[in-house]
């Protein structure tokens, strides 16, 4: 996943959804999907259909989550046999991997930890219809032809069940100009799980985006002491699925 460094071809579907607005590609994912910003305050996310999650899942979860926390407002979403798309209202904030925050990793990492804690405390487990617990993730992986190693089939004892983001990598937290967490994006895998399932992935993503040595700072910003066993397990599970 990355911020585009060259011009990106605009798919016909995106031009149709833009309705004449000017477009700028702002994000590329590993599946061939592209997110565009329009000059009239929208984001248009477009890509091939994905077996792991879908933009339909994302739209449904964002509409649910925004009752308690700040996530993009869904305007439209759709799909056909080969492609899917999602249109949302833009939030006036920057991704935690915007060049500004990559140059200020201490601020970004603190915001990631604080923002994840805020998300976990805001979303009500009792009202969440989706699971991101280990059995659900293993079943999802099996449906995509991925065999999970035997040593990852039994997770550590649950610490605390929360509504997890499901893809809490650094790019999916938005920061205001003062470096405070204000919103989350890309919630297609949102569901109930042990909070360490999210924490471990966010911690791991600090190394991808800011370099080594930030994992413990992320956990501290969340408000916990690093749990090596849980972090290692959920990072290995992430990599395996």
Residue pointed to by tokens 């890309």: 186
pLDDT digits (tens, 9 = 90+) for 21-69: 999 999 887 777 899 999 999 999 999 888 788 999 999 999 999 999 9
Secondary structure (DSSP) of 134-157: HHHHHHHHHHTTPPPPGGGSSPPP
* pLDDT one-digit tens code per residue, 147-206: 999 999 999 999 999 999 999 999 999 999 999 999 999 999 999 999 999 999 999 999
21, 55 contact by CB (below 8 A):
no
CA dihedral (14, 85, 98, 235) positive or negative: negative
Same domain, 41 and 122: no
Let me know whether 146 and 216 are in one domain.
Answer: yes
Question: Is 167 one of the annotated active-site residues of the chain?
Answer: yes
Predicted pLDDT at 194: 98
178 annotated binding-site participant: no
Regarding whether 63 and 102 lie in a shared domain, the answer is: no
In a domain, 3, yes or no: no
Consult the annotation and say whether 186 binds a ligand.
Answer: yes
Q: Where are the beta strands (DSSP E) in 29-93?
A: 34-38, 42-48, 74-79, 83-89
28 and 109 inside one domain:
no
Residues 61, 125 share a domain: no
Number of domains in the chain: 2
Catalytic residue among 167, 178, 216, 227: 167
Q: Check whether 209 has a pLDDT greater than 80.
A: yes
Are 28 and 52 members of one domain? yes
Facing residues of 25 across strands?
36
Q: Where does the pLDDT of residue 146 fall: very low under 50, low under 70, confident under 90, or very high at 90 and above? A: very high
Query: Last residue of a domain, which of 32, 55, 89?
Result: 89
Residue 194 placed within a domain: yes
| Angle at alpha carbon of residue 30, lines to 101 and 191, rounded to 5° | 80
Instruction: Please report, for the domain that includes residue 163, its CATH number.
Output: 3.90.1200.10
Identify the pLDDT of residue 82: 87
Please give the biggest Cα pair distance in the chain. Answer: 53
Kindly state whether residue 5 falls inside one of the protein's structural domains: no
Residue 1 has pLDDT above 60, yes or no: no
Domain span holding position 142: 94-240
pTM of the model: 0.93
237 vs 7, higher pLDDT = 237
- Establish if 98 belongs to a structural domain: yes
Residue partners of 189: CB distance under 8 A and separation at least 6: 52, 53, 57, 132, 165, 166, 167
My answer on whether 209 and 225 are in the same domain is yes
Residue 183 has what pLDDT? 98
């Amino acid at each position: 996943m990355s911020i585009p460094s060259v011009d990106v071809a605009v798919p016909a579907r995106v031009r149709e959804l833009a309705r004449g607005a000017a477009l700028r590609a702002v994000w590329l994912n590993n599946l061939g999907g592209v997110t565009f910003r329009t000059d009239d305050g929208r984001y248009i996310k477009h890509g091939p259909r994905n077996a792991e999650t879908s933009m339909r899942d994302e739209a449904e979860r964002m509409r649910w989550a925004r009752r308690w926390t700040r996530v993009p407002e869904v305007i439209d979403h759709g799909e056909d046999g080969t492609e899917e798309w999602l249109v949302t209202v833009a939030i006036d904030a920057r991704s935690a991997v915007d060049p500004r925050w990559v140059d200020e990793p201490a601020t970004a990492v603190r915001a990631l930890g604080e923002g994840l804690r805020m998300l976990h405390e805001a979303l009500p487990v009792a009202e969440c219809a989706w699971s991101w617990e280990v059995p659900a993730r293993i079943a999802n992986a099996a449906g995509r032809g991925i065999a999970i190693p035997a040593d990852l089939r039994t997770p550590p004892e649950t610490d605390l069940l929360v509504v997890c983001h499901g893809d809490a990598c650094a790019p999916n937290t938005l920061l205001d100009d003062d470096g405070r967490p204000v919103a989350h994006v890309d919630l297609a895998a949102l569901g109930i799980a042990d909070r360490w399932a999210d924490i471990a992935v966010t911690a791991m993503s600090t190394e991808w985006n800011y370099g080594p040595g930030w994992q413990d700072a992320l956990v501290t910003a969340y408000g916990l002491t690093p749990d090596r066993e849980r972090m290692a397990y959920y990072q290995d599970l992430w990599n395996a699925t």
